[in-house]
Structure formats: structure tokens, C-alpha cells
Amino acid sequence: MNIIGIGDNHDHSIMLPKADVLIHTGDFSFLPREVDHSFALQEFSRFAAWMNYQDFKHKIYVPGNHDQFVEKNLSLAKDTLDAHILIDEEIEIEGYKFYGSPWTIHFCSWYWAKDYSQLEHIYDQIPSDTDVLVTHGPPWSILDQPLPKSKENLGCRHLYNKISKLNNLKVHFFGHIHGSAGKVEKDKTTFINCSIMNERYFPINNYQYFSI
């Protein structure tokens, strides 16, 4: 199974190669926190048109903290988007178990956010036999630094602790922290930050590829 991962494209579209599964880790939106509904709808419509055009057998989308339209119009988004929108949900694809969760720590009243104290319970729901994990935010200390060589870790410790108990986990796709886009392997799990943008919101990164 070949998987393409992309995230944090912020209303920017790129060409993708063919694969079995497309994973979008959230933040298709570039809009500020509060905008008129019509502007948000136009931006979502562009994303939906791009996502629906992609020729993949399976598609997964987990919302990000910028994706206000989806939080406020989840039913419409599910009806419009040709993809599995995973909100603390599991699906099985060709024998592999995928689990998606959108939440990040509250910051400046953005969307799909929870208090840090709530995240432990949320991540405890991740099934122990998950093969592919998709979240918007990173785990603590793994591809979670906003700038190269930064010592500031912005990932979630609760997510990190849960992942350490997932003995079957093959790959974890996420984004959110643009400055740490890339791939690293740790304890037999591959961690992939799919951010397309850098911290200045320039689309300098490519899609990410993983094969099971």
C-alpha cells in the first residue's frame, strides 16, 4: 500500500502522484480566525474541488486548527468532500487500521482545539492496534519545533505517551508545525510531518510518501 501525505497547504494546491491512499492532515484554510461565511465557503469549495479531483482509491482528511468552516459546517463538509473525515474515528483499509484525530492545544481561539487537560482522555481512545495514525498536531519532541535547530517543543506530551503504547503503529502522519516538515523513524515507527508551508507560509515543501 502506497500512501501520500500532505497538510498545511493553506489554500495552495500542488500536483500529486498516484498512490493507493491520500492523507490530508489539516489546515487547508488560509483565512483568519473569523471571516464572513461566504468567504469561508469559497475557500472550502476550492479545497473540495481539489481534493475530489485527486485520483486515489482512498482519501482521508483530518481537520486542522485553521479549518473553521469544517468545524462550523461538519455535516456539509462530509456531504461535499470525497474523503473520510476522521474525528476521533477508525477505518480499515485493505486490512490496515487508520485512526484520525484533529485536536490541538488551545491557542488564540483557533478551531479544533481542546484544553491540555482534555487531550489525555481524547488520545486514550486511540485503539491499541492502530497501524496508521493521522493527527493534525505532532507528539512532543518529534518534528514539533517551529524553526530549525530550535529547542522549543510544541507537540503534545499526552499524544507522545499514547504513541509509546501503540506497539503495532507503523506510521504517524501529522502537520501543524511548519518548520519541522520531514520524516524521522523512532522505535520502529515512522513519523511524518506533512506541512507544505514553511513558517512564513511559503509552499517550499513537497508531499510525503510512505509504503506499507
pLDDT tens profile 30-49 = 987 777 788 899 999 999 99
Res. 194 pLDDT band, cuts 50 70 90:
very high
CA 138 to chain centre: 9
Q: Which domains does the chain have, with CATH numbers?
A: 2-211 (3.60.21.10)
pLDDT tens profile 78-89 = 999 999 999 999
Percent of the chain whose pLDDT exceeds 70: 100
Q: Pairing state of beta strands 208-211 and 96-101?
A: unpaired
CB 140 within 8 A of CB 164: no
Average pLDDT of span 151-170:
95
pLDDT of residue 33: 72
Res. 173 pLDDT band, cuts 50 70 90:
very high
